[in-house]
């Protein structure tokens, strides 16, 4: 019998599979097709202080090995989530929930995290620092170590729960940003977010997305995500846990991400292509672990750094 349980900053998950933010909403739709309690956790849709309608259409475009999205953080706002979604989640899922928190200023990040302190089922705060800083000309908070450190410091002071900073891959050196977050008190890291990309319509000769650019996800980004998880594990992995994310589509992908240094794995675009993807991955994990000769899946974490 393979032990699939893992620990993230003191929070125990029954298995390492977590539907990624932005692909799972607040659980309502997926609860109609399978029991959410098979999941290790799930990361809810990125939530801002105020409601956001999102970007103009079209905001989704397919690619050969993935998809582009420019949804624009569409969400009902923190007050509505606390009032309506949190009680509903408790009816659908009994495990620990990860809250993806977004903001456009340090104050908003801190306020959102503080408001989640009393949400009992929310056990981890996943702080998305790919948001544009409205006070710095729109430059993303995760684009340099100083900005990332400032957000980490602000939310760590406000939050009573473990804080995992979600890192952007659209940077020169993600390991330096990871070290800056760890130094300011991050309890863990999540990576990667989407890669910036675009497509052009040959007939109109215009970008396919109304926003022009969007975030690339899916199998195309998996090798990039594995490399970045490896680099961040080398930098801080012995100190704080990593949630690996980006292109995971199978139990084998999940195992590979863990060997690179992840303690748990988020599944995003795969669930949009196949709503049962997470369920299938969880069901396949024991056989993969047996093939790899481990009785506890947590033994895979960082294994590639030490050899066979």
| Residues taking part in catalysis | 131
Q: What is the DSSP pairing of strand 11-13 with strand 6-8?
A: antiparallel
> By the 8 A CB rule, do 241 and 266 touch?
no
**Cα–Cα distance for residue pair 27/30, rounded to 1 Å:** 6
Cβ-count burial 270-284 (b if 16+ within 10 Å, e if not): bbbeebebbbbbbee
DSSP codes joined into one string, 107-169: HHHHHHHHHTTT-TTEEEEEEETTSB-GGGTT-BGGGSHHHHHHHHHHHHHH-SS-EEEEPPS
**Cα–Cα distance for residue pair 273/249, rounded to 1 Å:** 10
100 sits in which H/E element:
strand 97-101
Name the packing angle between helices 251-260 and 277-292 (round to 10°): 60
The most distant pair of C-alpha atoms in the chain lies apart, rounded to whole Å, by: 57
């Amino acid at each position: 019998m393979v032990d699939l349980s893992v620990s993230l900053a003191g929070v125990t998950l029954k298995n390492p599979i977590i539907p990624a933010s932005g692909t799972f909403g607040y659980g309502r739709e997926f609860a109609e097709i399978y029991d959410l309690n098979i999941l290790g956790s799930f990361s809810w849709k990125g939530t801002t202080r105020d409601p956001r309608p999102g970007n103009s259409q079209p905001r989704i475009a397919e690619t050969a090995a993935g998809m582009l999205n420019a949804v624009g953080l569409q969400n009902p706002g923190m007050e509505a989530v606390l009032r309506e979604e949190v009680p509903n989640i408790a009816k659908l899922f009994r495990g620990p929930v990860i809250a993806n928190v977004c903001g456009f200023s340090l104050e908003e990040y801190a306020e959102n995290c503080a408001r989640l302190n009393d949400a009992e089922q929310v056990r981890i705060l996943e702080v998305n620092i790919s948001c544009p800083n409205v006070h710095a000309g729109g430059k993303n908070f995760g684009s340099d170590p100083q900005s990332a450190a400032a957000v980490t410091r602000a939310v760590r002071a406000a939050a009573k729960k473990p804080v995992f900073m979600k890192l952007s891959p659209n940077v020169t050196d993600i390991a330096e940003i990871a070290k800056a977050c760890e130094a300011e008190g991050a309890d863990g890291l999540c990576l990667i977010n989407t890669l910036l990309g675009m497509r052009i319509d040959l007939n109109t000769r215009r970008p396919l997305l109304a926003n022009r650019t969007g975030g690339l996800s899916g199998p195309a980004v998996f090798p990039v995500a594995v490399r970045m998880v490896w680099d961040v594990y080398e930098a801080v992995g012995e100190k704080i846990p990593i949630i690996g994310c980006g292109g995971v589509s199978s139990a084998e992908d999940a195992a590979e991400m863990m060997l690179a240094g992840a303690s748990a794995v988020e599944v995003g675009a795969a669930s949009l292509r196949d709503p049962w993807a997470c369920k299938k991955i969880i069901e396949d994990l024991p056989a993969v672990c047996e093939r790899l000769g481990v009785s506890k899946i947590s033994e895979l974490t960082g294994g590639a750094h030490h050899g066979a």
